[in-house]
Amino acid sequence: MKSVAELLFEAGMLKHTPRAGFSFLGAGRESVAEHSFCVAFIGYVMSLMMPEINALRLISMCLAHDLAEARTGDLNYVHKKYVAADENRALHDAVRDLPFGGSIVDAVAEFNAQETLESRLAHDADQLAFILDLKSISDIGLKAPDQWLSVVCKRLKTPTGKKLFQEIMKTPWDAWWMADYTE
């Protein structure tokens, strides 16, 4: 049980691990844990939209895909040109004493391989979480996210991810709030 408790503390460190890309946008900030929650929730919604898929596998990949960043930190695209994080080693070290560690390693490996529908949906959930952030920042008037939106949308792999992207782009970030707003 000690190794389980240690893993839970380690995963909790993601709340204190900042996502590195926001500094280039000039606005916004997010921890890896906040990002992972959003990715997992998007994966959950996708699993409800597509009941034929394995929801547990999809959501597991969404939750675990950035676990190694508790040890490596989040590297943005510029960082990755100069620094190589050994995420595979970090993940293996994090789960080495767990009887179910192989399941976590397998989920992240499946996510990275992008060979199953669930893994492609998890990848799209990861991108859609970023797209939601970019769209929200753009909707409040900042221009920097606009150039990223045209790049990130090209990363989407599934029809479901692409349909969600189209709807996100048509929907103001605060539409849910304003729909019931009264004075």
pLDDT tens for 82-112 read 999 999 999 999 999 999 999 999 999 999 9
Burial of 119 (0-12, 13-18, 19+ CB in 10 A): buried
Burial per residue of 126-163, b for 16 or more beta-carbon CB atoms within 10 angstroms, e otherwise: bbbbbbbbbbbbbeeeeeebeebbeebbeebebebbee
pLDDT of residue 108: 98
- In the chain the domains, ranked by start, together with CATH numbers, are 2-174 (1.10.3210.10)
pLDDT at 135 over 90: yes
Mean pLDDT over 138-148 rounds to 88
Q: Compute the mean pLDDT over every residue in the chain, rounded to the nearest whole number.
A: 93
CA–CA gap between residue 145 and residue 118 (Å, rounded): 28
* Max Cα-Cα span within the chain: 56
Quick one: average pLDDT of 145-174? Answer: 94
- Using a cut of 0.85, tell me whether the model's pTM lies above it: yes
